[in-house]
Chains A and B, each alone.
Chain A
Amino acid sequence: DTGVSQNPRHKITKRGQNVTFRCDPISEHNRLYWYRQTLGQGPEFLTYFQNEAQLEKSRLLSDRFSAERPKGSFSTLEIQRTEQGDSAMYLCASSSDRYYEQYFGPGTRLTVT
């Protein structure tokens, strides 16, 4: 079963450092989404790709955040100059063109010290 995978699963970094996360979607899914989730809240939408095109970015995605999906397969999310407020679970999900059901990966838990 090749579900959505994310790496790393955990990341601890010092404030001011840059971090990069990777997401590999379900192979036949063209759509890929990034969300951020903090304790006691539902996932908050960050950005969305259809194939390699980034079609939407939330206003939550400050200039320090950038996401890519260069060949329409895996995606990376980079956070520059991390802040303590960036500590959260970063979730990736994918879906097909035909159905809206999104399937989540295991997430990357980021802790900024």
Chain B
Amino acid sequence: QKEVEQNSGPLSVPEGAIASLNCTYSDRGSQSFFWYRQYSGKSPELIMSIYSNGDKEDGRFTAQLNKASQYVSLLIRDSQPSDSATYLCAGGPYNNNDMRFGAGTRLTVKP
């Protein structure tokens, strides 16, 4: 079992809809979770971090963490075509502070 798993998608939503991205992790000792956005051919860009159970909101983005269920999610409200990208979930720390990434979920927002 991989440390961090994501639905590979692809996920397609219409413009203005809510996109929901999900991630599970295997190590109950993981404390920190991150969502990165990666456009094709570019490097990952950090968009959200979450450390505590519950919701964390930042603009149109809401990250949710449920440590009991070992589940992390990202909601994107009012999705825009510019949100079309691959979203990577990462968790850690493992060993000496490194993170483990999921394979990513490709999101397409259709105008």
Contact = CB atoms under 8 A, between A and B. Distances in A.
Interface of A: 31, 33, 35, 40-45, 48, 50, 55-56, 89, 91, 95, 99-107
Nearest to B51: A100
Contact of A106 (B34, B43, B92, B104): B43
A101 B103 contact: no
B103 A103 contact: no
Given A56-B95, A100-B93, A45 B45 contact: no
Interface residues of B, number: 24
Contacts of A44: 101
Query: Secondary structure of the B side of the interface?
Result: strand
Contacts of A95: 97
Contacts of B92: 100
B101 A101 contact: no
B110 interface: no
Contacts of A33: 98
Contacts of B46: 101-104
Contact of A91 (B43, B93, B104): B43
A104 B99 contact: no
Nearest to A6: B43
B88 A42 contact: yes
Given A91-B44, A101-B46, A103-B46, A43 B101 contact: yes
